[in-house]
Amino acid sequence: MAIARDGTGATKILWEAVGNGGQVITFTTTASRHLVVSGESNSPAVTVADSGSGSWTVKSRIMGVGTGVSRVFVAYREGAAAVTTVTVTLSGGTNYGGAKLDQFTGVKTSGSFESETTADGTTASATFGSGNHTTTDPNALVIGAASGDDTSTAAWTTTLGSWTELAQDGNATTSLPWQTIYQIAVGSTGPYSLTWNYPPMNGSYAGVSLLVSFASAVVTPVATYANTPRDDELIALGSVLGPYSWVKPQSWF
Amino acid sequence: MTVLLTIPRAVRGPLTVSIPSTSVPAGLTQVMLTVNRFAWPVGSRVLTLALELSFDGGSTWPMKYASALDGGKIDNKGNPDAPSRIGFGLNSPSDSQTRVRGQIVLAVSLDCSATVDAT
């Protein structure tokens, strides 16, 4: 089964000046899904847990240029049983940011994480690149997250191309704008990249980008025979798979 | 921005303030609960905010967001009295069946006001 997004997930949550502690999302997920929470906060650390006591892993990147106040993150749980709540726990004082919970099918249920690619923009530049991210699996799921800082309420204007937006907050409510996206690879390891675009970027800061990929559960089929194939079966197989060469073992004659 | 509900400033608590089920005008994409704090005493979970969304006129409430706040913290701009806001960005614009309700739990006596708005 190829990777697919299951519905549109929970609605994104937004927080401003909420302090430490848990941001609890109540939303019932479907069993056997790869759960992803992506978003941004100025929290020094982000952890994620759920009502099913599942194990979550958080990949994150803190802004590397300026004072480093913004942290983008992609948290995931593999092959999760259905859960009713997901809690994003923040730290370090009063927090600004947001997150979105989504679920995917067809992702490997263990050891799905492949790699991450991080990048920083330059000060006051509205556009910044994600860097090139090459997947291991040509049918992988790639999730991206980016953030910046501003004094505006404008929206992100990233040209998505083959990417699909999961969520964005253009600082209508928070001081740290963010955008998250995804793409499902179709027979190619990439490299995958994009140019984030947030026009009102604050002059004191630079954008920060994170791309993360997860392997699909698809297993490449291997032809096996319970019995010795007949010549007509081999010919039929050849017509499907294309030109081939075949040497019959001596024992078949 | 459309203000859906206002709770005027007063010293209250400890108590739980229920935000009644309120219709969200069609075509909007964000619903927020704002609590403006005029004092912010140190303490654990001084304030707990919660919002729920219904997409079927209030029959079911499949989305809820709750946030517990410790008192005494200042925001990252050095302001102890900044309003705290939580809310939802809707996956698709609201329609006539979209409703919001919520709860504000004050663990201590607190000078505050609150609004629910949508944009």
For every one of its 253 residues, what pLDDT tens digit does chain A have, with 9 covering 90 and above?
A: 799 999 999 999 998 888 777 899 999 999 999 999 999 998 888 999 999 988 999 999 988 766 557 899 999 999 999 999 999 998 877 788 899 999 999 999 999 999 999 999 888 788 999 999 999 999 999 999 999 877 777 889 999 999 999 999 986 555 688 999 999 999 999 999 999 999 888 777 789 999 999 999 976 555 555 565 566 655 555 555 555 444 555 554 4
What are the angstrom distances between the C-alpha of A117 and each of A124, A146, A176, A211? 22, 12, 21, 5
**Site of tokens 């701009």:** B77
CB-nearest to A173 from B75, B76, B85 is: B85
pLDDT of residue A124: 78
Report which DSSP code applies to A252.
G
**Site of tokens 């400890």:** B14
Is the model's pLDDT at B6 over the cut of 90? yes
Report which DSSP code applies to A237.
H
Across residues B17-33, what is the average pLDDT? 95
pLDDT of residue B79: 63
Mutate to test the interface with A, among B35, B40, B67 (most CBs of A within 10 A): B67
Total tally of structural domains belonging to chain B: 1
The chain A residue lying nearest B52, using CA atoms, is: A26
The count of other CB atoms within 10 Å of the CB of residue A180 is 28
Question: Which segments of A130-237 are extended strands (E)?
Answer: 141-147, 164-169, 178-184, 195-197, 208-214
pLDDT of residue A225: 54
Pairwise CB contact (< 8 Å): A13 & B88: yes
Q: Chain A interface residues facing chain B, Cβ-Cβ under 8 Å?
A: 8-28, 42, 69, 93-94, 96, 98, 167, 169, 172-173, 175
Domain limits for position B53 = 2-118
What are the angstrom distances between the C-alpha of A137 and each of A119, A215, A220? 22, 6, 11
* Cα A47 versus chain centre, distance: 16
pLDDT of residue A134: 98
Pairwise CB contact (< 8 Å): A21 & B63: no
Cβ-Cβ contacts under 8 Å, A22 against chain B: 66-68
CA dist A111 and A143 (Å) reads 16
Instruction: Give the predicted TM-score (pTM) of the model.
Output: 0.87
Three-state DSSP at A141 gives strand
Flag whether residue B66 sits within 8 Å of chain A, measured between CB atoms. yes
pLDDT of residue A92: 75
Across residues B75-95, what is the average pLDDT? 81
Flag whether residue B110 sits within 8 Å of chain A, measured between CB atoms. no
* Structure tokens belonging to residue A253: 């004659």
CA dist A118 and A134 (Å) reads 12
The Cα angle at residue B98 between residues B97 and B102, in degrees rounded to 5: 135
Question: Cα Rg for chain B, rounded, in angstroms?
Answer: 14
Pairwise CB contact (< 8 Å): A24 & B67: yes
pLDDT of residue A232: 63
Flag whether residue B53 sits within 8 Å of chain A, measured between CB atoms. yes
Supply the CATH number for residue B81's domain: 2.60.120
CA dist A106 and A229 (Å) reads 32
